[in-house]
Amino acid sequence: MGDNLPPALLTTSLVNTIQIGSLYALMALGITLTFSVMKLPNFAHAEYATAGAYAALIVSLSGVLNPLVIMIAAFVVGALSALISHLAVFKPLERRDVSFYTLILASFAVGLIIRYILFTMADYFNLFDLRIAIPLRVLFREGTLILSNLFAWVVPTSLVLVFILTLLLNRSPLGREMRALANNVNLARVIGIPVERVKNYTWLLVGGLAGVAGALWGLQTAVHPLMGWGAIISVFAAAILGGLSSFSGTILGAYVVAFSENTVILFLNVNYGVDLAYKPAIPFIIIIVVLLFRPQGLTKLIRRAGDLGR
């Protein structure tokens, strides 16, 4: 396809694919983990990312510019938002044995509540469309392609976190217990796994990762109360490509979605005059096509140890 796409544009779009894909992966892995362990497709997940981005923004505005401190703040705030939404809403609802659909609706409601808390806060302190104040430095420039220190932050951080998460799930006792819960929660109870505690840790982990994803996002675009929500469909598309159960499938799915949104749309635009405004339709198309023709996602194609089962 490169024949018709100017090389500079192609390279830029591929760089974007890697950058955005890595962020999608961080968020989508959280969705896959929540779905596997908690049996909940959590639409509030995007809001943990936004909360993390705001935490990062506020820390950076307060004058702390150490990226590590900023990321830790984002992790903590994302993790706490997730844990609180579990303890205040999802757990009491599960106790009442409500249906799966009620839980999905509740997750939309939780998302809405967090989003508008952030709106109110942003409005009060005038925190709209600001950037996390880490100074921008150009590391590499070649024609239209510019690689900044942000790229050097976003991609390795995402990849390292994905790697740590995979290691944690496959090699640690906690990860083993999470996979046991994902596989058979009744048996987990019977053999004495403290199910509620493992769930709490899972929420902290997925919320924290989303928070870091939000902060990394906020490094490259402006922070806004709607930023997480704007990405949720793409992130869900990635998780659905992973069959909502496979880690490797979700990671691959994240890059497939990012590739479609950055490179494929550009290719269609240059060759067939498809308007770039159709970009938001891409994840919807991916979701519909996957659910119609391959609802198990990419799982069976790349089945590996460490997948979360069912």
Partner 1 sequence: MITIRELTAGYGKLEILQDLSLSFAERQFSAVLGPNGSGKSTLMKAIMNLNTVFGGSIHLRERELIGVPTEAISRLGIAYVPQRENIFDELTVLENLQLGARILPKHDRPTALKELQEIFPILGRRGAQQAVTLSGGEHQMLAIAIAWLSKPSIMLLDEPSAGLAPAIAIDVFRVLGELREQGMTLIVVEQNARRVLQYCDYAFVLREGMLVFQGTAEECLRDEETIKSYLGVH
Tokens of 61: 């505005």
Tokens of 180: 């046991």
- Note whether 180 binds partner 1 by CB under 8 A: yes
- Note whether 189 binds partner 1 by CB under 8 A: yes
- Note whether 135 binds partner 1 by CB under 8 A: no
- Note whether 168 binds partner 1 by CB under 8 A: no
- Note whether 292 binds partner 1 by CB under 8 A: no
- Note whether 92 binds partner 1 by CB under 8 A: no
Total interface residues for partner 1 by CB under 8 A: 23
Nearest alpha-carbon partner for 33 in 164, 156, 166: 166
- Per DSSP, what are the bridge partners of residue 187? none
- 277 DSSP assignment: G
Helix pair 195-220, 45-61: axis angle to 10 deg: 60
User: Could you say which of 65, 164, 187, 289 contacts partner 1 (CB under 8 A)?
Assistant: 187
| Min separation Cβ 303 and partner 1, Å | 10
Which residues, other chains included, contact 282 with Cβ-Cβ below 8 Å and sequence gap of 6+? 234, 257, 260, 261, 264, 265
Decide: 19 and 87 in contact? Cβ < 8 Å: no
Choice between 230 and 306, CB closer to partner 1: 306
- Note whether 179 binds partner 1 by CB under 8 A: yes
| Min separation Cβ 194 and partner 1, Å | 6
Q: How far apart are CA 127 and CA 111, in angstroms?
A: 19
Decide: 289 and 240 in contact? Cβ < 8 Å: no
- Note whether 307 binds partner 1 by CB under 8 A: yes
Tokens of 146: 């510019």
Q: Report residue 120: phi and psi, to 5°.
A: -60, -45
Query: In this structure, which long-range contacts are made by residues 236-239, counting pairs with CB atoms below 8 Å and at least 24 apart in sequence?
Result: 236/28, 236/31, 236/41, 236/283, 236/287, 237/283, 237/284, 237/286, 237/287, 237/290, 238/24, 238/25, 238/27, 238/28, 239/28, 239/31, 239/32, 239/35
- Note whether 126 binds partner 1 by CB under 8 A: no
User: Could you say which of 6, 156, 280, 309 contacts partner 1 (CB under 8 A)?
Assistant: 309
Tell me the window of 5-13, 82-90, 178-186, 262-270 that interacts with partner 1 (CB under 8 A). Answer: 178-186
Tokens of 121: 């806060």
- Note whether 194 binds partner 1 by CB under 8 A: yes
Helix (H, G, I), strand (E, B) or coil at 147: strand
User: Could you say which of 190, 276, 277, 292 contacts partner 1 (CB under 8 A)?
Assistant: 190
Tell me the window of 109-117, 156-164, 170-178, 274-282 that interacts with partner 1 (CB under 8 A). Answer: 170-178
User: Could you say which of 5, 15, 109, 195 contacts partner 1 (CB under 8 A)?
Assistant: 195
Choice between 135 and 192, CB closer to partner 1: 192
Choice between 187 and 285, CB closer to partner 1: 187
| Min separation Cβ 250 and partner 1, Å | 16
- Note whether 192 binds partner 1 by CB under 8 A: yes
- Note whether 177 binds partner 1 by CB under 8 A: yes
- Which residues form the interface with partner 1 (CB under 8 A)? 173, 176-177, 179-180, 182-184, 186-195, 305, 307-310
